[in-house]
Amino acid sequence: MKLFEISNRGLAVIGVLVLVLWGVILAERAVIEQAREAHYEFLQSHPDTPTALRPQPTGHPTEVVPMLPADSISQVGASTPKQV
């Protein structure tokens, strides 16, 4: 049982829109890569640039916040949470 039917014209429009979307995605990647290359080229040609503009590697991962034990989490509808 068919709920709806897509015409040939509708399929063609969908195909064109998919091609346009892929074109936008690829163009965005190209622009980002070009900007990244220009940024690094600028940093190499201007060694006196402040370090705030230079990408800095991180030596330590972000601090992980420990989770509470499962028995300390209050139950839905409980009037008072359990003490840890």
pLDDT digits (tens, 9 = 90+) for 23-51: 999 999 999 999 999 988 988 888 787 76
Q: What is the pLDDT of residue 23?
A: 97
Number of domains into which the chain is organized:
1
Q: Is a pLDDT exceeding 60 seen at residue 72?
A: no
Q: Is residue 64 part of a domain?
A: no
Distant-in-sequence, close-in-space partners of 17: CB < 8 Å, separation ≥ 6: none
What pLDDT score was predicted for residue 5?
A: 85
- Residue 30: which domain range? 7-50
- Rounded distance, CA 69 to CA 30, Å? 47
In a domain, 77, yes or no: no
Per-residue confidence (pLDDT) for residue 52, from 0 to 100: 60
Length of the chain: 84
Q: What is the mean pLDDT of the chain?
A: 77
Judge whether 40 lies within some domain: yes
